Amino acid sequence: MSAAARLARLIERAGSVVALTGAGISVPSGIPDFRSPGTGLWANVNPMEVAHIDAFRRDPVRFWSFYGRRFQRLEDKQPNGAHRALVELERAGLLDAVITQNIDRLHARAGTQNLVEVHGSIAHASCLVCGLRYELDDVRARLDSDPGGVPRCDCGEPVKPDVVLFGELLPLAAYARAEELAAAAGLMLCIGSSLEVYPVAGLPETTLIAGGRVAILTQGPTPLDPRAAVRMRGDVVEELEAVLTELGLRGPTAPAPPPGL
């Protein structure tokens, strides 16, 4: 039996299926991951100098010179087949929720309904002084119009993207929801994540301790590989589409995909 077939059977038999996604699921959309040699986001820059909360407070100009470019790179990116496959699983009643470490909004744009963004989102930014929040289009306009290249609040202070920077805690409500989902999952699909960044990397362990199983779909090694019920190392889009085929959600006898897919 192929790995895709084995994973399909696990999905069918699990009482609750939850997906945990990392940067690798967005690579087919043209978004680099963080640590791949030569191409990763941190390959040519020290994240402590541009993506730490202290760096934002100390030098917002340098911080936004980095994040401004990242915003531009993400502007035209679209969900790929892996994002859409998870939407199909959710709409078929085979996936309860997606927990994502990504901030790129692609799961939401693909149509995922039950989404937990444990590292925040670039969809908005906030002023740390007065608390006002601005939507992404407004942030981009303020970034473009500021002579120093720093989007500023109406009060004059720099705004910070509502993403979790190094040195910051995860949003308490989002992480509590992620832990609740992990503990109740009969199967957790770990997709495109190295499972190295804590505390999120501890969520699969929560599933295992509670008696659930873990399937890992990512090209690089992870610390939980020996404990995975299914381990798939190919292209994440191809792997998930093969699983959909095994579930009867793709192919000549499958029902038509929902609108928007």
Q: Are residues 96 and 139 in the same domain?
A: no
The range of the structural domain enclosing residue 133 comes to 32-76+121-163
Residues 6+ apart with CB under 8 A from 250: 241, 244
Task: Give yes or no for a contact between 258 and 244, defined as CB atoms under 8 angstroms apart.
Answer: no
Name the residue among 50, 5, 6 with its Cα closest to residue 228. Answer: 6
CATH number of the domain bearing residue 125 = 3.30.1600.10
Whether residues 95 and 153 share a domain: the answer is: no
Q: Out of 52, 83, 107, 119, which one is annotated catalytic? A: 119
Regarding whether 68 and 3 lie in a shared domain, the answer is no
Instruction: Check whether residue 37 and residue 139 sit in a common domain.
Output: yes
CB 195 within 8 Å of CB 204: yes
Note if 119 is an active site residue: yes
What pLDDT digit, counting tens, does each position of 209-239 carry? 999 999 999 998 999 999 999 999 999 999 9
Residues 88 and 141 occupy one common structural domain:
no
Give yes or no: residues 177 and 187 share one domain. yes
Which of 31, 53, 154 shows the shortest CA–CA distance to 104?
A: 31
Asked if 230 contacts 7 with a C-beta cutoff of 8 angstroms, the reply is: yes
Question: CB atoms < 10 A from the CB of 230, how many?
Answer: 21
Peptide bond into 79 cis (omega under 30): no
Q: Is 256 a residue whose pLDDT tops 90?
A: no
Q: What is the pLDDT of residues 138-194, one digit of tens each?
A: 998 999 899 988 999 999 999 999 999 988 988 899 999 999 999 999 999 999 999
- ∠ CA 157-160-163, nearest 5°, is 165
Per-residue model confidence (pLDDT) at position 76:
79
Two tokens, residue 208: 């295992």
93-149 residue pLDDT tens? 999 999 999 988 999 999 999 999 999 988 899 999 999 999 988 998 999 899 988
Q: Do residue 88 and residue 69 come from a single domain?
A: no
DSSP H or E stretch at residue 49: helix 47-50
Same domain, 243 and 147: no
Q: Yes or no: say if 191 and 20 are a contact pair by the CB < 8 Å rule.
A: yes
Report the distance separating Cα 259 and Cα 261, nearest Å.
6
Q: Which region among 69-78, 91-100, 238-247 has the lowest average model confidence (pLDDT)?
A: 69-78
In the structure encoding, which two tokens stand for residue 206, read together?
């929560």
Q: Domain containing 104 — which CATH number?
A: 3.40.50.1220
- The total number of structural domains in the chain stands at 2
String of DSSP letters for 160-215: EEEE--BT-PPPHHHHHHHHHHHHH-SEEEEES--S-STTGGGHHHHHHHTT-EEE
Radius of gyration for the alpha carbons in the chain, expressed in angstroms and rounded: 19
What is the 3-state secondary structure of 87-126?
A: HHHHHCCCCCEEEECCCCCHHHHHCCCCEEECCEEEEEEE
